[in-house]
Structure 1
Amino acid sequence: MTTAHAAAVPVLAGRHPFRGLPVIETAGLRRDPRSPRPVFDQDVWDLTGLADAPVVMSRHRKILDFTAIASSRWRQVAREYLLARLAPLHPDVATLPWAFRVPLNPNSLWSELKHLALWFNYLTSVGVTSLSQVRQHHCDAYLATVSRTTADPNRPLSPSTTAARVRIPQFLALYTEILSDRYQPGFTPWAGRGADEVAGYVRSDENRVPPVPDALLRPLLANCLYLLETIGPPLAAEVAAARAADDREAASQRSLLVHQIDKVREAVDQRRGAGIPAPQAQSSTVAQRLKGGWDPDDPLLHMAWHPFVVETAGAMGHRRQLETLRPELERWVSQCGLQPPWCRDAARIPRHGDGELVPWALPMARHQLDATVYVVTSAAYFLTSALSGMRTSELAELTSGCRQQEQRPGGGTRYRLVSRRIKGEAFGGTEDAWVVIEDVHHAVTTAEALTSAPPGQRLFAKASNNSNRRYTALRSWVNGEHGQRLGLEPLPDGPVNPRALRRTLAMAIAQRPHGLMATKLHLKHVSVATTEGYAARPGGHQAAFAAEVAAEEEAEHLRLTVAAYEDYQRGILPSGQGARDLITAFKAADQALDRHEAGPVTVIDDRRVERVLKAKAKTLHIGVGNYCWFSDPSKALCLKLAGTPDADKPLMGMCDSARCPQATHHPQHRQVWADHAESTQAVFLGNPRLSKPERARAQTAFDRATRIVAEIDTAGHADEELAP
């Protein structure tokens, strides 16, 4: 419902249908028994106890502060409207003729309240004290005010944002009967016009999310793979040691006993004798010591004394014990120096790119270790997003223990990630599973090891689970001294988030077989996993993603068909056995277009060309070195060779485009065949020990490739006749 309707209704003075009602229970939602129980009449609704709230519903969206509305009278109206939206089955709401019948998602309450505050506070600022005083000129003035940014009044907001601000004044008219203050009977803001029309917002089914540029995607995936496969295992071992130290410190409740002094002294002497540096304290510890009166020139100022005592004696180390052992400690620091305690003696690993063996990490402080963990878990986050197509909400719902692994009867392993569908589902979502490739399964395994999350705890749901923040941290680490020491390729700045990565994956699968997303990541593997997940759960996570892939594939096939048609118009003709039929189809398109007058602008002409060629584009299947125009299964050579004449799509893996009557070659395929001819000549024909049968087969392949290259080169002349 986009247009508000309000009939003349009697004013029912003193009617307050929601007074005293608990908000969460009235909305039919579940509440944690130990949480706050907000009541309708309160000026702040604390919804932090919503039991089924998804992770993407952050804490600040669960606190509804109605005091943001200046007028106490309109705070009451705002509460009435929002609870009516939450509880459409409430007896007083269900009888309203124009009310929404689907409950408002609680995650949207915060935004709705923000727009209510904009409307009501504007009315207050212009001297309106009751909704009954509102007239259309107030609405028009409000539109002029809220359709521009606060920082720059000359800069308009996007139409979609403005439309959201227009809906609230209109929607209030739908609930006139139960509001304590209401518009004049029969009045509706912008009557007869929907919010989209008022704001000039034109909805489109086109996916406008820009994909991640290839120049960013390739190094991102390559670096993420390296971090997870090479850095992940030793980092997980170091993290386990750090957490064990945390547990020891938590258990060290007593002070160091007198008889343990000698034990600590012995440990100091042993380490000094072995040349092991003393542990270096963090900068925060040093700052605290200086504030507490330590001498800035004290040789022990930068030594981590307390963690050392916990490690050696399992007790708390106080300043008085440090002074007792000061001579031994100063000799240790003087002879062996100081060094951060973590990642000492790191194992050597092959550096990314050149394979030179280098330590996987240099000694680091605890906060640096935690930062490295965040970087590598961010790599797991982006790799999972990029190779599965999961949305932000679905990634946030992944928990420790979400991995499933199944051995297939015919051999091989199928990997799944159990998550929850949030978008388009009832509040709380629905459990579902993604079929993923092994790289994604391994990424989540590494994230579990690094976070040490107990079963059921979210893996990517911390306060820092912001994709921009994650990418900034990952990029800074990779481009900084740590990543460059490991030979990682610098990452450019750019938009990297699950929406963009999902669009990129959909487009990459749709436009296959144009290469790899990154080293070792074949798109066909991702495509197979996604397709299987869709087939196993037609209404699940991957059904929507499969639909996006199909839409991108249809758009890509239409683009390629139009491009081939434009080449034909410029005299660049296709070659191959199917060229004559394709040219005939293009001539028919010429005739269809000639029957219509030219459009007033080029864009209209482009759309007309696409409409004419749409049917032909539906028959297109993309091969590595050819196009297959699969319009007649009986002519398909691949189906004849496979003995499956009734198949509804070609078998591109068996394609022999040099002989198939439905295959064509185009200029963009030339390099594929030229490379094939060159490699065949170098690897096979250039091998003197090749057997005669193998040489004959290689010669046939070489001759076919060179012939196709020659045909592509000569097909660009419009005056040449195609060979029959």
Structure 2
Amino acid sequence: MTTAHAASPALAGLRPFHGLPVVETAGLRREPGSPRPVFDQDVWDLTGLADAPVVMTAHRKILDFTAITNPRWRQVAREYLMARMAPLHPDVAILPQAFRFPLNPNSLWSELRHLALWFNHLTSVGITTLSQVCQRHCDVYLAAASRSATNPDRLLSPATTVARIRIPQFLSLYAEILSDCYQTGFSPWPGRSADEVTGYVRSDENRVLPVPDTLLRPLLANCLYLLETIGPLLAAEAAEARAADEHEIASRRGLLIREIDGLREAIERRRKTRTSAPRATKSTVTQRLKNGWSPSDPLLHMSWHPLVVEAAGAMGHRRDLETLRPELEQWVSECGLEQPWCRNAAQVPRHDDGTPVPWTLPMARHQLDATVHAVTSAAYFLTSALSGMRASELVELTSGCRQQEKRPGGAARYRLVSRRIKSEAFGGTEDAWVITEDVHRAIATAEALTGAAPGERLFAKASNNSNSRYTALRSWVNGEYGLRLGLDPIPDGPVNPRALRRTLAMTIAQRPHGLMAVKLHLKHVSVATAEGYAARPGGHQAAFAAEVAAEEEAEHLRLTVAAYEDYQRGILPSGQGARDLIAAFKAVDQALERHDAGPVTVIDDRRVERVLKVKAKTLHVGVGNYCWFSDPGKALCLKLAGTPNAAEPLMGLCDSARCPQATHHPQHRQIWADHVENTQSVFLGNPRLSKPERARAQAAFDRAARIVAEIDTAEHADEEPVHDA
């Protein structure tokens, strides 16, 4: 990672992002009328990002650079983050080691936190400019960053530390545009990645533990019961509660004198029908006692305001209550007090033995809200367990996301439309998940419980934290409500969408062709990811790996035969390895001629493949070339990497214009032609390009143009290819 840095941009007066709007410069969309942060501000307010996913919570949209003590480094932090967000900016695109993909805005908050840790550490040890930083300071920071801030005796995991170590290294990649940078030629921990520095070993193995069956069974059984039996009844009460809220909001006026008689009649009707008076909440009673109410007052525990709102559409005051006290006391003494919600609950069968019981006892409003949250959380976890959706995808579900498709024979297919957030561009990509009918009904119940308008998110209002949802659901099921309904207690243990997704993957993978089903259903990027989820080191996984290897071998043989047939037609390869490849093809001709009396004209395809099979085993396919890896000692990539005895080439380090085992063929021409055009327009056409960078770009342009010319001129079998020394 060592690089020769240019002179400090601060001295050169370079301020590439001065005065630019942050969101627009990064190529993002902003909601009309929302805050418009400018680069030079110490606080970037990104609350107006139009495509922000739910997982990008409110605090992650406020980037406060004042957390960095040194004002000089606040500017550096802004420059670095802006460069990461806008890699196509003219001053960033020409940086040779800069990242070419934009940083996801959801990661900005974490990156700023790590920048603050690094810069504030330097301030604490007396460093005032990055040019003073040496490797000793980096090693001291590593020791500090590896330990917990609250408990210095506790070492952090390498996975946590590696994120803190990357920042000092990444700053060296952007030295040319930073207003303060390291001394020329310095890079923290040169030649070592952050993983190597911290000892972090990455693995494809999925370490998330599946949910044990002893926990999963009662969880799913209780969720189904709550959604199918309790959900519809609870949804009706929730709808009435929302209507009451709207009525109360519209009733912010005082009770008129002429309305007293009407309110007196309403109280009398309730008394005659033996309707209990509504009970006040504990907080209301506590407040009344603080305001001087007598503990023996017969109206102390009666809720007064809901009655006035319902009967008169107004808000009653204490003086109105005193006016109607005789009627109210008679009502309370004859009919008693009862919680206002879920009265006269319908009978439902208990979950354990089917005995009919009221689905609930009368509830206070906060108890009703808690029950709605618990049953909505049941829909959340049932959907997670049976669909395998990630938490980021669950919270993107909206009212109206359900789709139903009639299939031939009368069957139906159900889908949920959400957005894939992980590994996608900022804002995600709309996608659909095939689900069971149980999930379809669960989402319908969640829509009814929340009263969400079409397009409004279902699981993001109350809490999008799966841990708090699980705690609420488990507490409700294991508490007095679940006990009355005969629900199975849910044992202690971690339950979250990641664990449920892993459990579903392992269940599907146990079926025939399950590994591919896991990949498709869970929308994994690769089968390797599905293998990690399914924990299948053998069986279908081994069979699939063997199939891939066989297909790869067959494709390499096909490409080798195609190159041989081009050679026969006079279309020669080019490149440093062309001479050896042509010699190998001539040897093939000779081998075939020994088996035929006449000239080589019509030869059986199988025989050609058998003769070329050994050569095909040396083929490795590059982006713009073929590598015939027959001699590791000749491989330029292995020499550059210092691993001359490797068994395979390092295609990521391939310089096919100089490697003696690389060849170019007609199918590679377009790749190199595009490289010529892009280098010409993006780099050589950029007037801001420095002389060293222009020289490097010109060399790349010349090399690509030469490769294109060689491919074009390699036309006849009797001509030797021309190479540059």
Asked whether the equivalents of residues 104 and 426 of structure 2 are also in contact (C-alpha less than 8 Å), the reply is yes
Q: Hey, what's the Cα distance between the residues in 1 that align with 2:399 and 2:4?
A: 54
Q: 1:280 to 1:546 in 2, by over 3 A?
A: farther
CA shift at 1:262, angstroms?
2.7
Change in 2 beyond 3 A, CA 1:196/1:546: closer
Contact 1:509 1:549 in 2 (8 A): no
Change (3 A) 1:274 1:533: farther
Query: 2:328 is paired with a residue of what secondary structure?
Result: helix
Letter in 2 for 1:279: P
Aligned to 1:11: 8
Q: In structure 2, how many angstroms separate the alpha carbons of the residues matched to 1:27 and 1:39? A: 12
The answer for the alignment partner of 2:38 in structure 1 is 39
Aligned to 1:221: 220
Q: Show the counterpart of 1:378.
A: 377
Quickly say closer, same or farther: Cα 1:547–1:297, change in 2 above 3 A: farther
Q: Give the drift of 1:20.
A: 1.1
Q: Which position in structure 1 is the counterpart of 2:24?
A: 25
Whole-Å separation in 1 of the counterparts to 2:32 and 2:428: 21
Task: Tell me the equivalent position of 1:264.
Answer: 263
After superposition, the C-alpha distances for 1:279-315 in whole angstroms (9 at most, x for unaligned) are 0112232233333333332211211111112212323
3-state DSSP class of the match of 2:536?
A: helix
Amino acid in structure 1 at the alignment position of 2:7 = P
Aligned to 1:516: none
- Shift of the 455–533 alpha-carbon distance from structure 1 to 2, 3 Å rule, reads farther
2:245 equivalent in structure 1:
246
How well do the aligned residues superpose, as a CA RMSD in angstroms?
2.6
Structure 1: distance between partners of 2:535 and 2:261: 77
**Distance change (3 Å), C-alpha of 1:139 and 1:546:** closer
Tell which deviates more after alignment, 499-508 or 272-281: 272-281
Residue 555 of structure 1 aligns to a residue in which SS? Answer: coil
Report the secondary structure of 2:432's partner residue.
strand
Residue 536 (structure 2) aligns with: 555
Q: Distance in 2 between matches of 1:263 and 1:437?
A: 53
Whose radius of gyration is greater, 1 or 2?
2
Change (3 A) 1:132 1:615: closer
Contact 2:373–2:462, Cα closer than 8 Å, also in 1: no
| Residue of structure 1 in register with 2:588 after alignment | none
What residue in structure 1 maps to residue 116 of structure 2?
A: 117
Q: Deviations over 1:361-415 (max 9, x none)?
A: 1111101100100000100000000100000110011001111111113321111
Is the CA contact 2:205–2:532 (under 8 Å) kept in the aligned structure 1? no
Q: Which residue of 2 aligns with 1:66?
A: 65
| 1:209–1:76 distance in 2 versus 1, CA, 3 Å | same
Decide whether aligned partners of structure 1 residues 614 and 407 sit closer, same or farther in structure 2, where only a CA change above 3 A counts: closer
Name the SS for the 1:404 alignment partner: strand
382-391 vs 546-555, which moves further? 546-555
Distance 2:423 2:217 in 1: 32
Cα deviation for residue 275 of structure 1 reads: 2.3
The 8 Å contact of residues 122 and 142 in structure 1, kept in 2 or not, is answered as yes
Aligned to 1:255: 254
- In 2, the alpha carbon distance for the partners of 1:354 and 1:256 equals 51
Q: What CA distance in whole angstroms lies between the structure 1 residues aligned with 2:175 and 2:475?
A: 54
One-letter amino acid of the counterpart of residue 10, structure 1: A
Counterpart in the other structure of 1:204? 203
Post-superposition shift, 1:264? 2.2
Structure 1 runs not aligned, ≥5 long: 514-523, 536-540, 562-609, 619-724
Indicate if the aligned counterparts of 2:519 and 2:526 stay in contact, CA closer than 8 A. Answer: no
User: What is the TM-score when the length of structure 2 is the normalising length?
Assistant: 0.72
State whether structure 2 residue 302 is matched by structure 1 residue 303. Answer: yes
Matched residue, 1:146: 145
1:622 matched residue in structure 2: none
* Counterpart position of 2:413: 414
The answer as to whether partners of 1:507 and 1:549 remain within 8 angstroms in 2 is: no
Aligned residues: 548
When residues 185 and 614 of structure 1 are mapped into structure 2, their CA distance, relative to the original with a 3 A threshold, is closer
Which residue of 1 is the match for residue 274 of structure 2? Answer: 275
Name stretches of at least 5 consecutive residues in structure 2 with no aligned partner.
Answer: 550-725
Paired AA for residue 410 in structure 1: G
The Cα shift of 1:251 comes to 2.5
Task: Name the structure 1 match of 2:342.
Answer: 343
Percentage identity across paired residues of the two chains: 72
Whole-Å separation in 2 of the counterparts to 1:60 and 1:369: 30
Aligned to 1:358: 357
> Cα offset for 1:552?
5.1
Classify the secondary structure of the residue corresponding to 2:48.
Answer: coil
Distance 1:172 1:483 in 2: 56
- The AA in structure 2 aligned to 1:7 is A
Measured after TM superposition, the shift of residue 548 of structure 1 is: 5.0
User: Displacement of 1:276 after TM fit?
Assistant: 2.0
Indicate conservation of the 8 Å contact 1:510/1:556, yes or no.
Answer: no
**1:104 and 1:612, CA in 2 relative to 1: closer, same or farther beyond 3 A?**
closer
CA gap of 1:450–1:546, structure 2 versus 1, over 3 A, is: farther
Whether the aligned pair in 1 keeps the contact of 2:206 and 2:532 (CA below 8 Å) is no
Tell me the secondary structure at the aligned position of residue 349 of structure 1: strand
Contact 1:506/1:545, CA 8 A, preserved across alignment:
no
Deviation at 1:557, TM superposition (A): 4.9
Q: What corresponds to 1:542 in structure 2? A: 523
Per mean C-alpha deviation after superposition, the further-off stretch among 259-268 and 204-213 is 259-268
Aligned amino acid, residue 330 of structure 1: E
1:91 corresponds in structure 2 to 90
Distance apart, 1:112 and its partner CA: 0.4
Normalised TM-score (structure 1): 0.72
Task: State the match for 1:368 in structure 2.
Answer: 367
CA-to-partner distance for each residue in 1:145-174, whole Å, 9 max, x for gaps? 111112332321111111111100000000
Partner of 1:490: 489
Contact 2:531 2:537 in 1 (8 A): no
In structure 2, distance between residues paired with 1:125 and 1:463: 41
Shift in CA distance, 209/263, structure 1 to aligned 2, threshold 3 Å: same
| Aligned 8 A contact 2:204 2:532 in 1 | no
| 2:329 matched residue in structure 1 | 330
What SS does the aligned partner of 2:114 have?
A: helix
Partner of 2:610: none
Matched residues in 1 for 2:240 and 2:542: separation? 64
> What residue identity is the alignment partner of 1:493?
D
